[in-house]
Structure 1
Amino acid sequence: MRTRDRRDEIVRLAMTSGLTSVEELAATFDVTASTIRRDLARLTEEGRVARTYGGAMALLAHPEPSLRQRTHEAFAAKRAMARWAAAQVSSGETILLDAGTSVGALAHELRDVPRLTVATTGLTALERLAGSETVHVECLGGTLRHLSQGFVGPLAEAALERLTFDRVFLGADGVTAENGICEADLQQTRLKELMMGRADRVYVLAHSEKLGRRPFNSWARLPSQWVLVTDEAAEPAALAPFEARGVEIVVARADGSRVE
């Protein structure tokens, strides 16, 4: 494993366990304790973790991972969700895509849909669709959030007021049945709520590790009718709160088919 990938994984482990020892990390990655200490020193300098007494470390208030860090996380799950979601889109529709890697994977699957119009707030989706000769692309613009590689702010919000959509596909840092979509920034949650209000059908792409997760304190409320799209690793206990609220749940297989 490359040094950068190992450090990204250390941050991910810290987010799930909260406290991880040098010895545990050294055993996990099959490297020396000195190597882990150097990793922790660099991650501390970058503000991504905090060192604690005895060589353990804890995550600093759940710092938001960058898009680059998230690119290779749950890759198979994101592809499965994207394949199912792409199959819901028909030629001639106008759809709205969020920023993020899960929705970026969906954009990749949509490249050959004829007479499709896609509006997006995300650079990832724009990159995936830039070479398509069949998809008409609209960028909503606004202020670029460098961590998420997505546009937010009043210009993006104003652009939404002039458009309606057949479907909107959203990503999430976490999603709960009670509070909705969890994000790192209030501008993101406000924009997501506005996006949901402009579409006939609302889909949230959230792989199993994001279900019930609340890493931040900003929330986007979900409408009464929406579709949760997740992957086969989702546990029944994690899905139960959504089922209790009448949410339509789609568990996508690797080939993009739906688990019945």
Structure 2
Amino acid sequence: MARLRSEHRRNEIARLAASHGLTSVEELSARFGVTASTIRRDLALLTAQGKLARTYGGALSLEPHPEASLRQRLGEAHEAKQAIAAWAATQVVPGENVVLDGGSTNAALAAELKDFRGLSVATIGLTSLEALTEAEGIEVILLGGRLRTVSQSFVGPVTEAALERMTFDRAFIGADGVRADRGICEKDLEQTRLKELMMSRADHVYVLAHGAKLGVAPFHAWAVMPARWTLVTDDSATPEQLRPFEAAGVEVVVVDVVDLAPEGLEDTGA
């Protein structure tokens, strides 16, 4: 278990370096709750693997930042996404109309909603559709269009035309990155246009993003945020990451993540 957790930490370090650029040893030590010497060993190993270039006090990614497939995302930050989805489900009231964006966190939310009654759920995500296929108490609406295979979700003018004929009580939106000053970062403009449309059609907007997605900009397409929205993240988010959102007047919800590791097993830094 310790080895698995160490490998997961190193994968997260490589991903953070790719999205942030320069990452300090001190920041990584605080984020992962391990010593600076453990982080330095991680950086040395990642450098030897050709994934990072060491700099004074930190690391710089050597790899381009391709868009991760949905299959890859399903394995990232699993506990955080489950905790965020569980909290988001508590905001939904039977009888409401809600719309779910694509992505792994919204797929987890769909699974949380499957036992609801008297609910209408529209979604662009195939994984959310799969989770709700046998939900007898839910009216499920698939917002079809052009399928983006990498994200297993629909985009384009057909999807937009369907959305323009609907309104929602709540919209739950995913993100590749989210910044207080720019909005939601995505791979292409079709995605950002669709997110803006979903948000404009809803009374309440929630952006579901675990801590590693806050303040990062892996791509160059942006969705502009509405005047009022709620950021839902997990307790890995640091005060420094949250401060810009709070200063901008965004409602911030931080959910606690339950550690699913068996008791008595601790990360030794191996």
**TM-score by shorter chain over 0.5:** yes
Contact 1:14 1:59 in 2 (8 A): no
Q: Hey, what does 2:141 align to over in structure 1?
A: 138
Structure 1: how far apart are the matches of 2:163 and 2:169?
13
Is 1:59 the counterpart of 2:66? The answer is no
Structure 2: how far apart are the matches of 1:102 and 1:208?
13
Structure 1: how far apart are the matches of 2:207 and 2:213?
11
Is 1:230 the counterpart of 2:252? The answer is no
Q: Hey, what does 2:97 align to over in structure 1?
A: 94
**How far is 1:15 from its partner?**
1.9
Q: 2:250 aligns with which of 247, 251, 254?
A: 247
Structure 2: how far apart are the matches of 1:82 and 1:250?
12
Q: Hey, what does 2:108 align to over in structure 1?
A: 105
Q: State the Cα deviation string for residues 205-253 of structure 1 (Å, max 9, x = none).
A: 0100000010000000001100000001110110000000110000012
Is 1:70 the counterpart of 2:73? The answer is yes
Structure 1: how far apart are the matches of 2:134 and 2:66?
34
Structure 1: how far apart are the matches of 2:220 and 2:230?
23
Contact 1:207 1:230 in 2 (8 A): yes
Contact 2:19 2:216 in 1 (8 A): no
Q: Hey, what does 1:171 align to over in structure 2?
A: 174
Equivalent residue of 1:15, what SS? helix
CA 248–131 in structure 1, closer or farther in 2 if over 3 Å, else same: same
Contact 1:18 1:58 in 2 (8 A): no
Structure 1: how far apart are the matches of 2:44 and 2:72?
21
CA 228–57 in structure 1, closer or farther in 2 if over 3 Å, else same: closer
Contact 2:183 2:225 in 1 (8 A): yes
Equivalent residue of 1:59, what SS? coil
**How far is 1:16 from its partner?**
4.7
**How far is 1:254 from its partner?**
3.1
Contact 1:167 1:202 in 2 (8 A): yes
Contact 2:160 2:194 in 1 (8 A): yes
Is 1:206 the counterpart of 2:212? The answer is no
**TM-score of the aligned structures, taking structure 1 as reference length:** 0.80
* Count, aligned residues: 229
Contact 1:229 1:252 in 2 (8 A): yes
Q: 1:194 aligns with which of 197, 218, 233?
A: 197
Q: Hey, what does 1:46 align to over in structure 2?
A: none
Higher relative contact order (CA 8 A, sep 6+): 2
**TM-score of the aligned structures, taking structure 2 as reference length:** 0.77
**How far is 1:101 from its partner?**
0.4
**How far is 1:113 from its partner?**
0.7
Contact 1:18 1:59 in 2 (8 A): no
CA 245–14 in structure 1, closer or farther in 2 if over 3 Å, else same: closer
Q: State the Cα deviation string for residues 29-53 of structure 1 (Å, max 9, x = none).
A: xxxx7xx5xxx7xxxxxxxx899xx
Structure 2: how far apart are the matches of 1:221 and 1:26?
39
Structure 2: how far apart are the matches of 1:105 and 1:155?
25
Structure 2: how far apart are the matches of 1:154 and 1:69?
27
Equivalent residue letter for 1:247:
V
Contact 1:97 1:121 in 2 (8 A): yes
Is 1:115 the counterpart of 2:118? The answer is yes
Q: Spell out the pairing of 1:3-82 with structure 2 (5 A cutoff).
A: 9=11, 12=15, 15-16=18-19, 27=45, 58-60=62-64, 62-82=65-85
**How far is 1:26 from its partner?**
8.3
Contact 1:84 1:252 in 2 (8 A): yes
Q: State the Cα deviation string for residues 130-171 of structure 1 (Å, max 9, x = none).
A: 121111100010000111111000000000011100000000
